């Protein structure tokens, strides 16, 4: 199962989504494979058997985690930790990725493989003041929850997905204010009615003023919101919280108000969906049983369910929050312009072919660098795609490549406009050779014409 991750890592530790932890998380300074494996297994044994209590129908107790650091590897299950030799990994045709994670199976069980030496995991742990094992447990749990969603038919990847480019301040401010009000409503039940009314105000303004984005966000808010809730409760339980004790759980949920925003990932539909769904789900769990079924089966979002029927009450926005969002997005737009302007121009140059690479040929996670949309292109734009594709006839490696992705003839592809006359691009005898700096590889293609434009489908 190929997964495109925003920023390269799955949502690993929920504190990273919204600021500093409200309550100090269990901290470990261990970074070596053996102690980290033991700590992750401790959390797995504690939480995974109770997965269906967090989200009905979810089964994780038969899942597996494989941790490797490039020298050794460990298999983690609910029962314990087992050393894996290179020969055993080769026998099972499992490779520890150079960075990040990948989804596979182990002895017939769904499994996630993580590289503990990936500096991004260590940076995540340092930024959120938690242990490396907390980040790895969260990353694995999130990956396997998403795999359960996919197996259950969750809608993902078929609709145009992403935040509209150029990035605008106002919709992100509305969603940030919505988040702050939801968090306040959860933290202090005495303010709940007032804060939910304000939250309904921001949500209704966003829906009315940005109807296309609101419609496009529904699958993401449902799927990422469900995962955000599951990961939040799982991480709190791993840290010692009693799920049945509302006050105890509240003290162990590591979300904080947004006074300002510094992480650009927080200002995207994907980055917003998890925290919003997590907080809305926590309130729903206290007030409305059975809400998870409506999200899973009915395509409802946690926020939509929570705010249904709530009368909006106007609230003034935070000037400081608006300014911080404006500053971050100005830098983001400056970075994206030189990436997306040539991409859009190349897409509209119909004299050049489109290279279509099947998404399911990807090996492990693909770091997308963010999902974006524009009215000028009918596909999602990826800012910095990094990762590898293993094709029957060759390989392709992407390194910070600006590309498109979407459905073509019922299949999901990474889509790249290419100029055969460009240095580093060679097309001959149904074979493509790329050496552009951001795209490297050689493989066979099948030529297919459609709509007056040539398509080269990687084989």
- Give 368-422 pLDDT, tens digit per residue: 888 999 999 999 999 999 989 999 999 999 999 999 999 998 899 999 999 988 8
Q: Quick one: which of 365, 343, 411 has its CA closest to 165?
A: 343
Average pLDDT over residues 340-351: 95
Q: What percent of the chain has pLDDT over 70?
A: 92
- pLDDT tens digits for 207-234? 999 999 999 999 999 999 999 999 999 9
Please tell me the pTM assigned to this model: 0.90
* Joined tokens for residue 112: 């996630």
222 SS3 class: helix
Task: Tell me the C-alpha distance between 272 and 256, whole Å.
Answer: 14
The alpha-helical segments, DSSP class H, found in 153-191 are 169-187
Position 26 scores a pLDDT of 61
Position 12 scores a pLDDT of 35
pLDDT higher at 128 or 291? 291
Position 22 scores a pLDDT of 40
pLDDT higher at 22 or 97? 97
Task: Tell me the C-alpha distance between 190 and 392, whole Å.
Answer: 60
- pLDDT tens digits for 408-455? 988 999 999 999 888 899 999 999 999 999 999 999 999 987 777 899
Position 158 scores a pLDDT of 53
Q: Produce one character per residue of 329-339: b if its CB has 16 or more CB atoms within 10 Å, e if not.
A: beebeeebeeb
Average pLDDT over residues 50-57: 95
Average pLDDT over residues 75-94: 95
Task: Tell me the C-alpha distance between 99 and 117, whole Å.
Answer: 8
Which contiguous run of DSSP H or E holds residue 3? strand 3-5
* Band (153; pLDDT cuts 50, 70, 90): low
- pLDDT tens digits for 24-36? 446 788 899 999 9
Average pLDDT over residues 101-115: 91
């Amino acid at each position: 199962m190929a997964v495109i991750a925003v920023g390269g890592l799955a949502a690993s530790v929920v504190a990273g989504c919204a600021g500093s932890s409200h309550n100090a998380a269990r901290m470990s300074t261990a970074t070596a494979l053996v102690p980290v494996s033991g700590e992750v297994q401790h959390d797995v044994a504690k939480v995974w058997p109770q997965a269906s209590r967090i989200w009905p129908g979810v089964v994780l107790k038969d899942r597996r985690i494989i941790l490797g650091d490039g020298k050794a590897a460990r298999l983690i299950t609910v029962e314990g930790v087992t050393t894996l030799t290179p020969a055993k990994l080769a026998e099972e045709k499992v490779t520890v990725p150079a960075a990040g994670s990948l989804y596979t199976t182990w002895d017939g069980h769904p499994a996630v493989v993580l590289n503990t030496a990936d500096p991004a995991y260590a940076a995540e742990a340092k930024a959120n003041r938690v242990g490396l094992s907390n980040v790895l447990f969260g990353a694995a749990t999130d990956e396997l929850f998403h795999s359960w969603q996919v197996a259950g038919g969750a809608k993902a990847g078929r609709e145009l997905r992403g935040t509209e480019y150029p990035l605008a301040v106002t919709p992100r401010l509305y969603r940030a204010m919505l988040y702050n009000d939801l968090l306040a409503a959860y933290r202090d039940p005495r303010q709940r009615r007032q804060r939910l009314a304000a939250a309904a105000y921001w949500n209704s303004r966003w829906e009315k003023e940005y109807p296309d984005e609101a419609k496009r966000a529904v699958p993401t808010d449902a799927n990422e919101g469900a995962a955000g809730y599951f990961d939040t409760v799982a991480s709190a339980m791993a840290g010692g919280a009693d799920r049945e004790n509302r006050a105890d759980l509240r003290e162990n949920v590591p979300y904080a108000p947004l006074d300002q925003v510094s992480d650009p990932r927080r200002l995207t539909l994907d980055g917003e969906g998890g925290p919003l769904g997590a907080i809305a789900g926590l309130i729903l769990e206290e007030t409305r049983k059975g809400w998870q079924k409506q999200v899973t089966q009915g395509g409802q979002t946690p926020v939509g369910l929570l705010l249904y029927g709530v009368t909006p009450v106007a609230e003034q926005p935070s000037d400081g929050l608006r300014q911080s969002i404006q500053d971050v997005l100005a830098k983001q737009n400056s970075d994206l312009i030189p990436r997306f302007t040539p991409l859009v121009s190349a897409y509209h140059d119909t004299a050049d072919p489109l290279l279509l690479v099947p998404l399911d040929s990807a090996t492990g996670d693909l770091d997308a660098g963010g999902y974006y949309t524009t009215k000028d292109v009918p596909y999602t734009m990826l800012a910095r795609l990094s990762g590898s594709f293993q094709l029957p006839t060759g390989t392709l490696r992407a390194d910070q490549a600006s590309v498109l992705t979407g459905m073509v003839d019922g299949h999901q592809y990474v889509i790249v406009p290419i100029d055969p006359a460009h240095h580093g691009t060679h097309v001959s005898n149904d074979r493509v050779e790329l050496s552009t700096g951001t795209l490297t590889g050689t493989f066979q293609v099948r030529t297919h014409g459609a709509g007056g434009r040539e398509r080269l489908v990687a084989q």
